[in-house]
Amino acid sequence: DNVDLGDLMFSLCYLPTAGRLTITIIKARNLKAMDITGASDPYVKVSLMCEGRRLKKRKTSTKRNTLNPVYNEAIVFDVPPESIDQINLSIAVMDYDRVGHNEVIGVCQVGNDAESLGRDHWNEMLSYPRKPIAHWHPLAEVR
């Protein structure tokens, strides 16, 4: 059952010498409306995962009342070159709610353990160090 939850564009860039992994959340499009008003208040939460454990998490600002938010926000993680192969990024687009709790609109993953596009994007980043590589990723439902 493939629900259209929207797409997220982000770029990945790895600096092996500095051991810095930068993910720049660029924008999202056609997000699924989560509020009764037919819009959402989306923000993006990025978790740095290693063998299923969450090491760090960061998030972008919240964009009010839009299904096509533009962020252009860079999130930097320190990842030494010897651990880059064990790392995955888990990216969730969330809907901010003042009442109750924030809901997940959709997720995607990049890294060695990710599927298809998530793995290709990661490998492309590793093949071209110091160069930001941007792609659209379709959002998936949370398993």
Q: Which CATH number fits domain 6-139: 2.60.40.1220, 3.40.50.80, 2.60.40.150, 3.40.50.720?
A: 2.60.40.150
pLDDT bin (cut points 50, 70, 90) of residue 2 is low
pLDDT bin (cut points 50, 70, 90) of residue 98 is confident
3-state secondary structure of 31: coil
- Model confidence at 1: pLDDT above 50: no
The Cα–Cα gap between 94 and 52 comes to 20
pTM: 0.95
At 29-66, the pLDDT tens digits run 999 998 788 889 999 999 999 988 999 999 999 999 99
Cβ count near 139 (within 10 Å):
23
Burial string for 91-120 (b: 16+ CB within 10 Å, else e) reads: bbbbbbeeeeebeebbbbbbbeebeeebbe
Per-residue tokens: 89:
């990024």
- Model confidence at 143: pLDDT above 80: no
